[in-house]
Structure 1
Amino acid sequence: MRVSAMKDYIIFYEVTNNSPYPGIGGKENIYESWCEIYEPSTKDFQISSLETEKVNVTVVIRNVYPEFLPTVGHTFEVKTGMYKDSEFNIKNIAPKEENTLKIVGEKIWE
């Protein structure tokens, strides 16, 4: 496992629609983790249909299934490092190594 490379901290959110009004909702914190962040590879761009003019990242976290399993409907926010306070939509999830998951994200523009 690449624990020594996991120096950034992220929070995963699930978008909720608890409001009686359409389009008004919030997000619920569902998991927090240390991670490794790097630029997506060409293969990640092809598999995830990422747009090159947007900010994209690849995140590696420990696989803690069944406690938490990210889905494409979730978002994550980077809390440290170069992408601090940036929020990303999950575009692709894949097992990376024995105990890790690779997650590709595309930045949400505010």
Structure 2
Amino acid sequence: MANITLTVYGAEQICASCVGAPSSKDTYEWLQAAIARKYDTNGISYQYIDINASQEDEKHKAFVERIFEEDLFYPIVFVDDEMVAEGMPKLKNVYKELDERGLTQLQES
């Protein structure tokens, strides 16, 4: 069974270049629902990182600093340590990473 972590970095306020896009939190919830329709989700865990909150974890702290330094578009989606989306995520890219990591797809009825 896969042991995958999907991480979404984002903020309550929609990024200035992403007007009209859903919020990071909405994207985080949408991704969970979309993945649950296609995969057995027992092998996946989710985490949402608010880029405006102080970070205890050094890995998250360093990446949040990078978001601000490089003006990256958020939400930013990682599957494990692989960045799969910046700004509006495409499900195809997320699914590709999940497939490569061996997450089991649900059988179509």
Q: With structure 2 as the length reference, what TM-score do the two structures score? A: 0.24
More helix by proportion, 1 or 2?
2
More strand by proportion, 1 or 2?
1
> Per chain length, whose mean CA-contact separation is higher, i.e. which structure has more relative contact order (CA < 8 Å, sep 6+)?
2
Q: With structure 1 as the length reference, what TM-score do the two structures score? A: 0.23
